[in-house]
Copies of this chain bind each other. A is one copy, B any other.
Amino acid sequence: MSTYFQEDQKEASRRGRLETDHGVIQTPCFIPIATKGAVKTMSSGDMKKLGAQILLSNTYHLLLRPGLESMRELGGLHRFMNWDGPILTDSGGYQVFSLSKMNKTTEEGVTFQSHIDGARVHLTPELSMQMQTAIGSDIVLQFDDVAAGDSSRERYKEAMERSLRWAKRCKDSFQRGDVSTLSPGRRTVAVVPSDTIKTSPLLFGIVQGGVHEDLRERSVNGLMEIGFDGYAIGGLSVGEPREDMFRITKQTCALLPADCPRYFMGGGMPEEIVENVKSGVDMFDCVLPTRNARHGTLFVWNQDPSTIDFFQPKADPPLAENNSLSPTWYKQLRITNEASQFDESPIDPFCDCETCLTTSRAYLRHLFSVQEILALRLATIHNLRFYLQLMEELRMRLNK
């Protein structure tokens, strides 16, 4: 691993680069979500064209289908989905908590029923490491115990402390090379560029502790004692007030080592990403651009993004508790509204994506109203491009 993070005068924001087996990630970055091995409606080639640097895939979903042994047999996810860039995998902890029925947590791990066929599955820190290794993940996340967003302080504390103990088991399993049980692929993986520097996958710990600063501090210290290649901030963007999310992110970043990447899990709106970049976060993932796209809600620049001063101290108040408040530099367009019926302008005149170059608002509205699958794809292309362009703009501001 080689990392480089340059702190900026702009609050605590950083411009960095992170080397992986499958190439360098320029940060701050946004990670599109390929839950089951594909970004919904998009091929790996499409994602490359859009400018995605790295994809996220979900251990929980891939563990159910195609499964651990199949993933090994298939030679890993890069080969399977023909993606030669870096892949980050979450550990499965969050999906077990949010998707499965009748999950039961013990010190050993979590037993849950598959949301697909009800089959009983036992997921442990060690199995999560093995599955992420079978996937061939470049950035492996520790398995964690996830507390619900409205938990008591006691439950947050319990989940954070168990997550620390599981973090240690993950690190041990990772170092022991439980992971090396990966059976060789049936032929060499052709998609990996031959000149890529070979390093190990990176292992990230996950900071937990809800909105309690003392629990977050304990979590950071515990993880740093174990030692990880990077640190994820978990358990936020789960319904807590925005100001708590911003406060905890800022506090946590200030505690984390400066030379390691920081990854905010699962958030958020564009203005939230900007605010968390200012606090020193390097990596983001979020379902919003793709999910909103499929529901016909599109992100649209209100001005040429190269003219936006994201780091202006007096920017629109991003701390408003009302999550519907948006800053002035973008808006959300409900494409199914009547206003677009005869609108021949592109979704976003400042966007360079395939959708904006070829499709009118009127046509996209029609495709949604007659329920054409193409509507979902064209909207997804645009919203992902909006998020990726946002990160490009932020990186340009942070370049020396």
Contact = CB atoms under 8 A, between A and B. Distances in A.
A263 B343 CA distance: 36
A41 B374 contact: yes
Interface in A346-395: 354, 358-360, 362-363, 366-367, 369-370, 372-374, 376-378
A62 to B, nearest CB: 9
A238 interface: no
Copies of the polypeptide in the assembly: 2
Contact of A370 (B65, B82, B370): B65
Given A70-B341, A186-B344, A342-B73, A37 B373 contact: no
B374 A43 contact: yes
A291 interface: no
A44 B359 CA distance: 10
Interface in A183-221: 186-187
Interface residues of A, number: 39
Nearest to A366: B66
Contacts of A224: none
A192 to B, nearest CB: 15
B376 A373 contact: yes
A300 interface: no
A354 B36 contact: no
Nearest to A363: B80
Contacts of A66: 341, 366
Given A367-B38, A376-B373, A358 B43 contact: yes
Nearest to A372: B38
Given A82-B359, A358-B45, A358-B82, A377 B366 contact: no
Given A43-B358, A43-B359, A74-B342, 16 more contacts: A36-B366, A36-B372, A37-B367, A40-B374, A42-B374, A43-B354, A45-B354, A61-B370, A65-B366, A73-B342, A80-B360, A80-B366, A82-B360, A82-B363, A186-B342, A187-B344
Interface of A: 36-38, 40-45, 61, 65-66, 70, 73-74, 80-82, 186-187, 341-342, 344, 354, 358-360, 362-363, 366-367, 369-370, 372-374, 376-378
11 contacts: A37-B363, A37-B370, A40-B372, A40-B373, A40-B374, A61-B370, A74-B342, A80-B363, A82-B363, A186-B342, A186-B344
